[in-house]
Amino acid sequence: MAQSTGDWVVTLDEDGQYHPADISVMLGVALSTRSDVVYGRALNPAPHGVLRNSASNLAKSLAVGLTGSKNAATFKSNRLMLGTVARTVATYVGPGVYVDVALG
């Protein structure tokens, strides 16, 4: 994200829950609502096992507990961000930092 140069930056998870064709839908929402950040919703089921899903749910519960925001559990890795926002956030995040907390 720090090295991006585009007007918009998209992040996608590699597990197949999100389809790259949906980027145009997110861009349309961002432009029509004048939003700096738009999250996508997974249409495909998560291809993970019970252990991985349990760990993910625990991490989301911890994020809610630590931030005090119930929205912390709804963050997804499929997001479209205004390029300037992405580059600004990239200056603050590193290993172990939750990108969505930095965006908030």
Q: What is the pLDDT at residue 27?
A: 96
The pLDDT tens digits for 50-86 are 887 788 778 878 878 877 777 666 666 789 999 999 9
Asked if residue 12 belongs to a domain, the reply is yes
Asked if residue 2 belongs to a domain, the reply is no
Asked if residue 43 belongs to a domain, the reply is yes
For 78, residues 6+ apart whose C-beta sits below 8 A from its C-beta are: 11, 12, 13, 17, 18, 22, 26, 39, 40, 41, 42
What CA–CA distance (Å, rounded) separates 104 from 100? Answer: 6
Query: What range defines the domain where residue 35 resides?
Result: 8-103
* Structural domains of the chain, count: 1
The pLDDT tens digits for 21-53 are 889 999 999 999 999 999 887 776 666 778 877
Q: What is the pLDDT at residue 72?
A: 63
Asked if residue 1 belongs to a domain, the reply is no
